[in-house]
């Protein structure tokens, strides 16, 4: 297998393909570059930044942003708003107003939290190719966009005739085919106290948690998983949630929603929609949901 790594969408991207298909990794890099150009909220020239700057008026958008907005709205509806793409203003308020590497110590929060829910008032006119955000709102499609870029990359690789590949971007990964001589892709799940190796045969995995994207704002430690009800970083007693789904997009949305829902409601949410997952509490307790497997690294040793 050929391994290729690059940096995009604020994450380390890892592509594994058969050695003879190494050239295809450049195609994946191109996919991520295109998606980041359209959807970064840290690039003033991105389509998303232009849309946010003109909240309250219809804005013509390209196919990638339109797809991301529609996917985010579908995700918000499907999770009853636990996944909320209109928390951009809260992320800015708590200091996440630049790429994570540049945050450092964020200045104190200005203003009070307003919470989410503005997604309900987003107007999409597909025939005109326009999106209208509610005035004063700010869209953030970071998580779902990364998952969609992984899905798009695998689709591209498949269309190029590649039968075996893994694409991982930060917490989101998906696979195509099986690695040579193996029954499954062994994937180590970050944040799992048991250091579980998940034997993924088909589909995607996504992890949402608070271990990495944390920063200081004054005396307060912040993280990026905001509770739409409070507008503040979610405090649910969970450390990380990893979810398996048929697509990276579904897994990412499931992981974020289950994290925000917390250890009491999150498992039921995942079960209802047919996802499998592993929830890890702050105390290190593991909650397995659905068809989540039971291997651990110690089994493989």
Q: Which of residues 36-55 bind other proteins (CB under 8 A)?
A: none
Contacts of 30 (CB under 8 A, 6+ apart): none
Contact string (CB under 8 A) for other proteins, positions 196-235, x = contact: -xxxxxxxxxxxxxxxxx----------------------
Residue closer to other proteins (CB basis): 38 or 131: 131
Return the closest-CA partner of residue 194 out of 300, 296, 285: 296
CA distance to 39, 116, 119, 135, 226, per residue, from 93 (Å): 20, 13, 18, 17, 11
Count of CB atoms situated within 10 Å of the CB of 290: 15
Of these, 132, 194, 229, 281, which contacts other proteins (CB under 8 A)? 132
CB 39 within 8 A of CB 47: yes
Of the candidate spans 105-113, 152-160, 191-199, 260-268, the one that interacts with other proteins by CB under 8 A turns out to be 191-199
Count of CB atoms situated within 10 Å of the CB of 162: 18
Of the candidate spans 24-32, 44-52, 91-99, 169-177, the one that interacts with other proteins by CB under 8 A turns out to be 169-177
CB 63 within 8 A of CB 114: no
Contact string (CB under 8 A) for other proteins, positions 91-120, x = contact: ----------------------------xx
| Residue 263 parent element (H or E) | helix 248-272
| Residue 54 parent element (H or E) | none
194 binds other proteins (CB under 8 A): no
Residue in the block written with tokens 């955000």? 133
State the minimum distance, in angstroms, from the CB of residue 283 to other proteins. Answer: 17
145 binds other proteins (CB under 8 A): no
Of these, 242, 260, 261, 266, which contacts other proteins (CB under 8 A)? 242
CB 204 within 8 A of CB 151: yes
Residue closer to other proteins (CB basis): 74 or 229: 74
Residue closer to other proteins (CB basis): 113 or 186: 186
154 binds other proteins (CB under 8 A): no
Burial class (CB in 10 A: 0-12, 13-18, 19+), 270: buried
Of these, 171, 233, 262, 266, which contacts other proteins (CB under 8 A)? 171
266 binds other proteins (CB under 8 A): no
18 binds other proteins (CB under 8 A): no
């Amino acid at each position: 297998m050929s391994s290729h790594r690059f940096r995009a969408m604020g994450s380390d991207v890892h592509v594994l393909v058969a050695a003879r298909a190494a050239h295809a990794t450049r195609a994946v890099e191109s996919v991520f570059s295109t998606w980041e150009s359209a959807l970064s909220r840290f690039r003033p020239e991105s389509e998303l930044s232009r849309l946010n700057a003109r909240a309250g008026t219809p804005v013509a958008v390209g196919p990638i942003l339109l797809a991301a907005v529609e996917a985010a709205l579908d995700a918000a509806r499907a999770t009853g708003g636990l996944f909320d793409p209109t928390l951009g203003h809260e992320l800015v308020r708590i200091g996440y107003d630049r790429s994570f590497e540049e945050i450092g110590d964020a200045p104190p929060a200005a203003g009070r939290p307003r919470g989410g829910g503005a997604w309900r008032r987003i107007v999409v006119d597909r025939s005109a190719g326009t999106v209208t955000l509610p005035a004063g709102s700010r869209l953030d499609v970071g998580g779902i966009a990364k998952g969609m870029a992984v899905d798009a990359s695998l689709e591209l690789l498949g269309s190029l005739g590649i039968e075996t590949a893994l694409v991982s971007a930060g917490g989101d990964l998906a696979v195509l085919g099986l690695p040579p001589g193996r029954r499954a892709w062994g994937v180590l799940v970050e944040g799992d106290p048991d250091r579980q190796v998940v034997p993924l045969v088909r589909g995607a995995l996504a992890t949402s948690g608070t271990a990495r994207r944390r920063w200081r704002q004054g005396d307060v430690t912040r993280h990026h998983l905001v509770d739409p009800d409070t507008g503040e970083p979610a405090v649910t007693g969970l450390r990380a949630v990893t979810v398996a789904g048929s697509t990276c997009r579904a897994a990412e949305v499931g992981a974020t929603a289950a994290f925000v829902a917390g250890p009491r409601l999150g498992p039921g949410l995942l079960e209802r929609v047919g996802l499998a997952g592993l929830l890890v509490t702050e105390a290190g307790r593991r909650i397995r949901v659905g068809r989540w497997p039971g291997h651990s690294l110690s089994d493989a040793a």
